[in-house]
Chain A
Amino acid sequence: MNTNSIITFTLVFLPLLGAFVTYFCGKKNIKVLSSLAQIFTALVFFVSAAGLVLFINDPGQVEGVSVIGEICGRGIAFSLNGFRVVYAFIAAFMWMMTTLMSEQYFGHHHNQARYYFFILLTECATLGVFLGNDLYTIFIFFEIMSFTSYVWVAQEETKGALRAAETYLAVAVIGGLSMLMGIFMIYHELGTLDVDALRESAMAANTSPAVLFVASILMAIGFGAKAGAFPLHIWLPKAHPVAPAPASALLSGILTKSGIFGVIVVTCNIMSGDKTWGILILVIGLITMFMGAVLALFSVNIKRVLACSSMSQIGFILTGIGAYNAMHAEHFLASSGSMLHMINHSLIKLVLFMAAGVIFFNTQALDINDVRGFGRKKPVFALIFLTGALSIAGIPGFSGYVSKTLLHESILEVEMGSFTRIAEAVFLISGGITLCYMTKLFVAIFVEKNADEVLQAKYDDLKNYMNPKTAFALTGSALLLFVWGIFPHRLMEKVAGFGADFYRLSGESEAIPYFAWNNLKGGLISVSIGIILYFAIVRCLLMKNGRYLDRWPKWWDLENAVYRPLLLTILPTIAAVFSRVFDSLVDGIVLGLRNTLYKDSPLPGKKKEMSMRSLRVKEDVDIIRRSISYGFFLFAVGVIITVVYIFVFHFGG
């Protein structure tokens, strides 16, 4: 056992062990249950932190591949490199923090044992995805992750939650199968599934680019569905709001990233250098980014705003990944931009969703009109929220600004004339909308007063709105986010450098002058767009008599308008017509024969005096008589064929 295998196996299998221990020891006692879950997630976090520290000291010490043979036939393999170490750390951190805050969030809610069990199982699966060294391992853990996280969405068992969970599972299963088909094709074409070997095999002369392209699209459907990319984002705005807040933080912060992780694997290895692919991902990214932002702007439910915002930010990340392939040079801009934005978004959504959770368990409401004024006279809470909000809006001085600047630069490197200009415009406008909806949330929660004065007084008097564990989870996460953002060169660029070999880049990146006028200009344009939009749209269009309105038309919903009718009614009905014809083909022929060539004698007249029993016996006798004659009929056909055969081939031939 070397360091690599100790770290990877502990990271993946400790949560698995923890899931069972926690469930069976804590089933009866909620206190024991949550404590055990906290202990296990904390242990996993320390292991991941140890891994990160060791990696920073000497990468060679922890890098490498660890294989467990036999499992699932081909064996599963885990590896560590810069990207994976960083993301394992982020994941373990998020799990620890959300578990810490779950205790207060759930209080004495029922079904908690189930919740913690699946939280820990999913941690195992998610770490398995991030550490997986080949597509086989990644796929196995990805599927496990999809199924175990289903329980998070369905946890509350409300009607909306169950429907959202159904959608989530359907998208996950469709995505998973599509990905599997892609993996089959890759394996057939390249003969390997090892992530590190894919690029070399794909470069080889004897591969078919068309097959690889189709396979990559199939895989991207699977990964993109999990990431929430358009047009498979439908589950995201529905599932995040109904899940418990700690689970939403994880869904949004880390599960979507596992999808992104897969898209990076495909883009940087199989499709490496393919411009068309780059443009495709870039366009999908732009659409996702813009649509998510607009949806978020229109939403009035805090968690829905955050969920749509996640979708939008995923679009930003995808844009970077697309640009990576579409650009001619300066690839490290796109790689650092997308990787840093992944990390930023994970941390930001951790903070914001946990903050939404705090609001929810204090008010039992999520509509901004109901929770309006909740944050007044709560300076610590306001600061925590503000850190997340400013960072996601890309205000200079916060981490989001750095990654967005890098992404902006990388879009400009895609030298395609007017396309580049349109992409840049969409990018800046989406950034503006981000600021706009975050302002809307902040103003509503922290500045304005609630319309109901009694409620407002109650909100103002709330002192113990967070217990120490929750407070620690929130301030800790916000502090990390803040510190991370103020050292763009010393911290962020260094971490971005860790990811280089995962993006298949070598060499050193040059330092970017983030606060030069050239770069600040992009940020400022976004900010001005945001301010204009806030006053023009939010204050004028989306508010009436001091209430926030949801003006998004109800029928304008891709899932209910297109996917559900198409997949549940139209296609199955069409296919069912054909299937029924096939299904009853032989029965139909037999029926036809019985009505024409081989006609039944009419049923003997029913006599009324017959008892039920004798009638039944008679019927049975009838059935048997006919069936025997049917048997004879078949037998006769067989005999005729046999005789003909004997005559023709034995005597004739």
Chain B
Amino acid sequence: MNILIILPFLVGLLTGIVLLVLSFKDHKDKFDFVGNAEDAASRKKLHEYVAIILFLMASISMAVAFSGQSEIRLFTLVDGISIFFRVDKIGAMFAVVTTVVWLAVLLYSFKYMQHEENEKRFYAFYILAYGVLMCLDFSGNLITFYMFYELMSLSTMPLVFHSGTRESIMAAYKYLFYSLAGAYCSLFGIYVLHASMSGSLAFNPGGAVVFGSRFYGGGLQLLGVFLMLIGFGAKAGMFPLHAWLTAAHPVAPSPASAALSAIIVKCGVLGIIRVLFFVVDYKAIAGTWVQYTFMTLTLITVFMGSLLAFREKVFKKRLAYSTVSQVSYILFGLSTFDPAAFTGSLLHVVAHAFIKCGLFLTAGIFLFRTKETMADGYVGIGKRMPVTLWSYTICSLGLIGIPPTAGFISKWYLATGALDAGIGAFRYVGPAVLLVSALLTAGYLLPITMKGFFPGEGFEVKEKDKFDIMTAMLLLMAVLAFVLGLFPNPLTDFAGSIVSEIM
């Protein structure tokens, strides 16, 4: 039974290799999927296989996630450090969110990817990454987590340079360098923590590392923890190692950007949660320079991301800056060490995953249909594709935090939690920065709705687009963002139960 935890990874690895081998064969003679009936049929077949395999993997993972506590120890490396998986609540939560987004984006990309070449390579890495992510979510100790974290960086990099342009290759390298630089920072922290801990760096709610008098009265451990925050923060787009995000998102195909922005950056968040609350006892950090520096960095990121998004003209880059800002909302919530704010962070993980996925899917639809990349270029688009723009609007309102959408609920918990936390003047500064950033968010998202639905006098609708699978997936994200805002209690209670195990 327990082998099921790593089964998706094995299936994903196998499928990935098969698809990659097949894709090498394709590469020799490029072919036109759309025009050719035979190719269209083989393309449809490919989609069926890919979809069946991913659904299979997803159902296994979901069975694992919902079955509750189960664990598997694969083998031992050294000194009691083993490759070890354990399903816990927070891992299950991340796994469920990942699965929903991954499946929706896959269905979306069946249509979207007809514009791109090398579809098989895309699906190969896409499926492989899903398997890696499941293992990442269910990792039972920091070493296992780290291993799959690196694997995730590597397996998602080909998604970024998929188009093969020079720009995308440069962006992919930037993505890799930043990820590696971050991972090395984390690695240093892992060494320090391992040295100061008798156990195996396993994840326990509440953490186990006690800072002793060794290592300069714990000073080195604090530094280690700080470096881990910076390191995992790189993936989460936290200042100072956030620059990869705005380079990688605009050049990747839109489904890949959606997956990156919704899920991959959240793995950095998961890393930070694991370190702060499952390895180290957060009480040892509370009140130290680490907490305050971390908090300052997150607030800088929140403001910087929003402001640069506000000034950005390229739509996908704007959304990338927005991700920088929004993910740091989550990190800010974590940095306060307050139960309510922590709950808010977990809610925002879910809310932002669906909302940002929806926004990038919108960007993809716009790009697919109009070939326009600039945010000012979507005048009157609401008359052409009303359902798309409506869904976009709901997602935008969610990101700003207008009730009744999911973003409002998470912001409510984040801000009230921050006010209750014992963090001095940050109590007021934090929520104020969040709200200023929300204002900027409104400033960079709503003009597209406004110009899209109200193009002005004399605007003629040239054509109306049909409802298709891409719009359907976008609508799904918008509905999720709305329903989670209208009836958030099951999710809030679940997040609350995770928090109550820790605090």
Contact = CB atoms under 8 A, between A and B. Distances in A.
B409 A73 contact: yes
B241 interface: yes
B413 to A, nearest CB: 9
A139 to B, nearest CB: 7
A585 B240 contact: yes
Interface string B188-215: 1001100100000000000000000011
B311 interface: yes
Interface in A156-173: 157-159, 162, 165-166, 169, 173
Nearest to B489: A70
B62 interface: no
A195 interface: no
A147 interface: yes
Interface stretch (A45-53, A255-263, A404-412, A627-635): A627-635
Contacts of A642: 188, 191
A623 B457 contact: no
A118 B416 CA distance: 32
A641 B415 contact: no
B450 A166 contact: yes
A74 B486 CA distance: 10
A634 B181 contact: yes
A421 B234 CA distance: 64
B438 A177 contact: yes
B438 A157 contact: no
Interface string B437-471: 01100100010001000111101000000000000
B384 to A, nearest CB: 16
Contact of B454 (A73, A154, A178, A616): A154
Contacts of A157: 454-457, 459
Contact of A188 (B166, B420, B439, B489): B420
B472 interface: no
Contacts of B292: none
A270 B456 CA distance: 44
A583 B304 contact: yes
B170 A623 contact: yes
A536 B264 CA distance: 72
B392 to A, nearest CB: 14
Nearest to A646: B191
Contacts of B180: 631, 634
A181 B308 contact: no
Interface residues on B, range: 35 or more
Contact of A638 (B188, B307, B435): B188
A180 B435 CA distance: 8
Contacts of B308: 576, 579-580, 583
Contacts of B278: none
B304 A582 contact: yes
A140 interface: yes
Contacts of A73: 409, 412, 488-489, 492
Contact of B416 (A187, A575, A578): A187
Given A147-B397, A181-B435, A623-B169, A139 B456 contact: no
Contact of A165 (B187, B246, B304, B454): B454
A216 to B, nearest CB: 15
Interface SS, B side:
helix
A653 B409 contact: no
A128 B214 CA distance: 61
Contacts of B428: 185
Contacts of A70: 487, 489
Given A188-B419, A586-B240, A623-B170, A72 B485 contact: yes
Given A181-B431, A181-B432, A579 B304 contact: yes
Given A72-B486, A579-B307, A184 B415 contact: yes
A584 B243 contact: yes
A147 B450 CA distance: 11
B377 interface: no
A631 B179 CA distance: 11
Contacts of B191: 642, 645
A382 interface: no
Interface residues of A, number: 57
Contact of A576 (B187, B307, B400, B456): B307
B404 A627 contact: no
A166 B308 CA distance: 21
A72 B300 contact: no
B230 to A, nearest CB: 11
Contacts of B416: 184, 187-188
B368 interface: no
Nearest to B409: A73
B81 interface: no
Contacts of A194: none
Contacts of A650: 195
A140 B304 contact: no
A354 to B, nearest CB: 25
Interface SS, A side:
helix
A586 B241 CA distance: 7
A448 interface: no
Contacts of A166: 450
B294 interface: no
A232 B454 CA distance: 25
Contacts of A144: 403-404
Contacts of B170: 623
Nearest to B246: A583
A367 interface: no
B130 interface: no
A648 B485 CA distance: 53
Interface in A229-269: none
B435 A582 contact: no
Contacts of A517: none
A71 interface: yes
A620 interface: yes
Interface in A161-207: 162, 165-166, 169, 173-174, 176-178, 180-181, 184-185, 187-188
A616 B188 contact: no
Interface in A345-389: none
Most interface-central of B177, B240, B412 (chain A CB within 10 A): B412
A139 B402 CA distance: 10
A653 B243 contact: no
Given A72-B403, A147-B397, A177 B435 contact: yes
Contacts of B436: 177
A460 interface: no
Contacts of B402: 143, 147, 176
Nearest to B428: A185
Interface string B338-358: 000000000000000000000
A158 B459 CA distance: 11
Contacts of B303: 575, 579
B277 interface: no
Contacts of A627: 173, 176-177
A162 B454 contact: yes
B446 A169 contact: yes
Interface string A108-150: 0000000000000000000000000000000110011001000
Contact of A582 (B169, B240, B442): B240
A452 interface: no
8 smallest beta-carbon distances between A and B, as pairs: A188-B419, A140-B403, A579-B304, A177-B435, A173-B442, A73-B488, A154-B454, A638-B184
Interface of B: 166, 169-170, 173, 176-178, 180-181, 184, 187-188, 191-192, 195, 214-215, 220, 239-243, 246, 300, 303-304, 307-308, 310-311, 397, 400-404, 408-409, 412, 415-416, 419-420, 428, 431-432, 435-436, 438-439, 442, 446, 450, 454-457, 459, 485-489, 492
18 contacts: A70-B487, A70-B489, A73-B412, A139-B403, A143-B402, A143-B403, A162-B454, A165-B450, A173-B446, A177-B435, A177-B436, A184-B415, A188-B416, A585-B240, A619-B166, A623-B170, A627-B177, A642-B188
Given A579-B308, A635-B184, 10 more contacts: A143-B403, A144-B403, A157-B454, A166-B450, A184-B415, A575-B307, A579-B303, A579-B307, A583-B242, A586-B243
